[in-house]
Amino acid sequence: MKRLAFKMQLKPGYAAEYQKRHDTIWPELKQLLKETGIHHYGIYLDRETNILFAALEIENEATYAALPQHPVMQKWWKYMADIMETHPDHSPISIPLEEMFYLE
């Protein structure tokens, strides 16, 4: 397994909506993430800055890298684009973070 972490920017005033949308995540998206080999995926919010911090484990880098081409993923990004900072294709602007310490 490989551990990854990244940050994204939530638009001000949308924390409750972000939480609501993830509390009711689409079953087909949840299944896709599992089929892609994603495990231990968590997203955390810094309420002072509206920065979202995500951490996950992946089984296969190539499978994970292909995820943005999947129609369900693209549909989810479009659904979330109104409350997050995104690229023109609606994918969230995510900044990879470098692992500095990990205790197993």
- Is-catalytic flag, 87? no
Q: How far is C-alpha 83 from the chain's CA centre?
A: 13
Q: Identify the three-state secondary structure at position 19.
A: helix
Q: What phi-psi label fits residue 78: left (phi over 0), alpha (psi between -120 and 50 degrees) or beta?
A: alpha
- Among residues 22, 39, 40, 87, the one annotated as catalytic is 22
Q: How far apart (Å, rounded) are the C-alpha atoms in residues 2 and 60?
A: 8
Q: Are 5 and 52 in contact (CB under 8 A)?
A: no
The residues annotated as belonging to the active site are: 22
